[in-house]
Amino acid sequence: MSGRFLEDFDVGETIEAPGAYEMTPERIAAFAAEYDPQGIHLDPIVAAREMFGGIVASGWHSLSATMRLMVGSRLFDAGPIVGVGVDRLRYLQPVRAGDVLRARAEVIDVRPSRSHSNRGYVVMRVVTLRQDDVQVLTQDWTLLVPRR
């Protein structure tokens, strides 16, 4: 289990993930070919006709890139974190080639489990931002954390 306990989290605590993730054309194509093979992610001619007017990264790619950024943060220093769910995930802006993503999180809820006295839940609002500080993606992670 994680080396961090429920009692170590406070509502309002913020975690800034270090580093950045550049959405290169090669990364967009490689992810989409494997996991989301739609023309809007792979074919410039198809994509030009669609809602965003050009190729955009798969939303699942932006999500996965956000995880990569967060794994580099101190949230994961003490060991693995078990995520049990995600709520209120919103795709706010398309992500395009050349965009550079960063991530940060804020603790929005800390609560003991009702059924297991040795554990609890931490809810974090995770925000993914573009190079111009515009939010492209927000989501609330629920993490399972041991109690002391």
Query: Should residue 36 be labelled a site residue for a copy of itself when binding is judged by CB under 8 A?
Result: yes
Q: Closest approach of Cβ 62 to a copy of itself, in Å?
A: 11
Query: Among residues 22 and 34, whose Cβ is nearest to a copy of itself?
Result: 34
How many Cα neighbours within 13 Å face the side chain of 94?
Answer: 14
Of 34, 53, 54, 118, the residue at the interface with a copy of itself (CB under 8 A) is 34
Using the rule CB under 8 A, give the single segment among 11-19, 28-36, 99-107, 124-132 that binds a copy of itself: 28-36
Query: Among residues 59 and 112, whose Cβ is nearest to a copy of itself?
Result: 59
**Alpha-carbon distances of 136 from 45, 90, 96, 126, rounded to whole Å:** 24, 8, 11, 11
Q: Closest approach of Cβ 65 to a copy of itself, in Å?
A: 7
Nearest CA among 71, 80, 90 for reference residue 143: 80
Distance in angstroms (rounded) separating the CA atoms of residues 25 and 42: 9
Distance in angstroms (rounded) separating the CA atoms of residues 143 and 83: 4
Binding mask 68-97 toward a copy of itself (x if CB under 8 A, else -) reads: x--x----x--xx-xxxxxxxxxx------
Query: Among residues 10 and 72, whose Cβ is nearest to a copy of itself?
Result: 72
Residue type for position 104: R
| Intra-chain end-to-end CA distance of the chain, in Å | 12
Residue 41 dihedral angles phi and psi, to the nearest 5°:
-105, -15
Query: Should residue 100 be labelled a site residue for a copy of itself when binding is judged by CB under 8 A?
Result: no
Query: Among residues 10 and 87, whose Cβ is nearest to a copy of itself?
Result: 87
